[in-house]
Copies of this chain bind each other. A is one copy, B any other.
Amino acid sequence: MGTSGKSQKKVSPPQLIIFIFLLLILIGTILLRFPVSSNSNTITWIDALFTATSAVCVNGLVVINTGSSFSTFGQVVIMILIQIGGLGFMTLGVMIAILLGRKIGLRQQLILQETTQASSRDGLTKLCLYIFMIAFIFELVATIILTLRWVGEMGLQKASYYALFHSVSAFNNAGFSLWPDSLSNYLDDPVVNLTIITLFIFGGLGYIVIVELFKKRDWKKFSLHTKVVLVTSGLLTICGFIVLLLLENWNPTTFANLTMGEKIAAAFFQSTTPRSAGFNTIDIGNMLSSSQLIIIILMFIGASSGGTGGGIKTNTFFVLILATLNTFRGGGPIHVFKRKIGTETVMRALAVVVSSLTCVFIVALLLTITENMLEEHFLEVLFEATSAFSTTGLSMGLTSELTSLGKIIVTITMFIGRLGPLTLAYALAKKKNSTKIGYPEDQVLIG
């Protein structure tokens, strides 16, 4: 984002992004609706729309069992939608700049220039290809590893297909799985765990962080953005891991009967997957409500900007916390890692979190009404709304029971959540009014 500039043309970058995503979803819906996409009965339009949106928006919520109800053709369509949707979104800022033949917004440009010296069109094209290459290398290596892991279990053809599907799904933080219980069968399998986790973590860090990690390889040389993303992602993972391990340790329906090694693996997987991946090795519905609440918060924060994941983003969260602590310490300029964070950045973070919270609460409210839920299931509804908005795709089990109206609400939420409130607002916004009168500043009490 940050692509709104002075040279306003007929179609703004945010409008173009929305158009492309709607087109992808339309094509996906039609393809998945074809009889050839299903194993037995052709799926309904609404389920095709839901699945296509979930795939293009790399969400992972499913109303139809991906592995058993879709044919191999249907599954390949889903996989391609995931790859285009995920990698496309990741490189969107760069690609839009190339497509429109002009520089991208100030914010990304500054970081990009510093990182890659790629401000010219040629430089941007190179950068884009570089990102694609890294993504494909990640997916290729992972496919090979997973094929080797699964070949004994299911033969070469099926193993390589499953490996490819799950690698694409993981790097793009899509969370689609060909098993109905996601990766629960591989709860204690180090190869599957580490491969999948590595993929979705790297996919979620964003291209600026990935490029810097591969090109600079030195903390001191990293940009502020990269430092912020790495620190926040790391802290969230560590905190999530410890809390989930402590909470679930004695839960008989999840951790209680596992060995210590399995517990650690499961806690680690479940603390990283809310950063938009959406796979799971434990049935989320069986976890304690306190753990589910933690996962809701982790999902809401999500992954990092410029990546395949969703949520308000780790970097946005960091800025919010930093600004809050700064105000508590008496205000003034916000400093971190020997750099200053500008007011405009904080304002954008505020706008993102307020609109995201509003969105999640409205969706939860609507689902509470349409699904005729009693208060007993509110956590499930809040979980579903957050998961849809943050493109995480984890579920406590509500998705498969959704009414048609509920499916439509979740579909729209996945779309809004993927593009983000800022993109949508900029797409709808009229030209910036630069003739504001300078009214005098006045006071409003706070808190």
Contact = CB atoms under 8 A, between A and B. Distances in A.
Interface of A: 1-2, 4, 107-108, 110-111, 206, 208, 223-225, 228, 247, 288-290, 292-294, 297, 304-306, 312-313, 315-316, 318-321, 323-324, 326-333, 335, 338-355, 357, 361, 364-365, 368-369, 373-380, 382, 396, 420-422, 425-426, 429, 432-433, 436-447
A10 B218 CA distance: 46
Given A331-B347, A436-B333, A108 B340 contact: no
Given A293-B361, A328-B425, A352 B446 contact: yes
A293 B444 contact: no
Q: Which of A223, A353, A361, A440: most chain B Cβ within 10 A?
A: A353
B340 A441 contact: yes
- Best-buried of A313, A324, A346 by chain B (most CB within 10 Å): A324
Contacts of A1: 445-447
6 contacts: A107-B443, A289-B375, A327-B351, A329-B433, A342-B443, A375-B380
A345 to B, nearest CB: 6
Nearest to A1: B447
A320 B354 contact: yes
Given A290-B365, A324-B354, A348 B442 contact: no
Contact of A313 (B108, B352, B379, B447): B447
A441 B292 CA distance: 38
A27 to B, nearest CB: 27
B439 A348 contact: no
Contact of A369 (B290, B315, B357): B290
Nearest to A93: B445
A356 B375 CA distance: 24
A327 B347 contact: yes
Contacts of A443: 107, 110-111, 223-225, 342, 345
A283 B332 CA distance: 47
Contacts of A374: 289
Contacts of A420: 447
A219 to B, nearest CB: 15
Nearest to A243: B365
Contacts of A331: 344, 347-348, 432
B306 A445 contact: yes
Nearest to A420: B447
Contact of A327 (B305, B319, B348, B447): B348
